[in-house]
Amino acid sequence: MNDFDRIATVIRYLDENHSEQPSLSELAAAADLSESHFHRLFQRWAGVTPKDFLQSLTAEHAKQRLRDSASVLDAALGSGLSGPGRLHDLLVTVEAASPGEFKSGGRGVNIEWGFAESIV
């Protein structure tokens, strides 16, 4: 199996099993590589680390559950996270918004902006 096929297989596996939050060692084993070699290879082909890729999949799944009116607890558990605190940390990191802010569609959130001169 070539490198492209290995990484494509792992990406498909992650897409189907992200709620189990597979570890780096599980992913490396699925690719039949050492953890360090797999990590480097994945980052080279996918452009992000396996952890960042898994976080993105998990966040997207949780956001969809919140859009579908799941509670924050249900969205967290259904996404493979241990609880609402983990979901909060994930969404603040990935989206700069708490689960409640995301669920409400940003209602009540103030966004401030402005213009400034630059040398360019």
Which position has the token pair 């990191």? 93
Tell me the pLDDT band of 108, cut-offs 50, 70 and 90: confident
Q: What pLDDT score does 107 carry?
A: 86
pLDDT confidence tier of residue 78, bands split at 50, 70 and 90 = very high
Taking CA atoms, 18 is separated from 80, 104, 105, 110, in Å, by 7, 25, 25, 33
Query: Which two tokens mark 112?
Result: 């401030």
pTM for this entry: 0.81
pLDDT at residue 111 is higher than 90: no
Burial class, 42, CB count within 10 angstroms (exposed 0-12 / middle 13-18 / buried 19+): buried
Task: Give all domains of the chain, ordered by start, each with its CATH number.
Answer: 3-103 (1.10.10.60)
Q: Which residues contact 69 (CB under 8 A, 6 or more apart)?
A: none
pLDDT at 115 over 90: yes
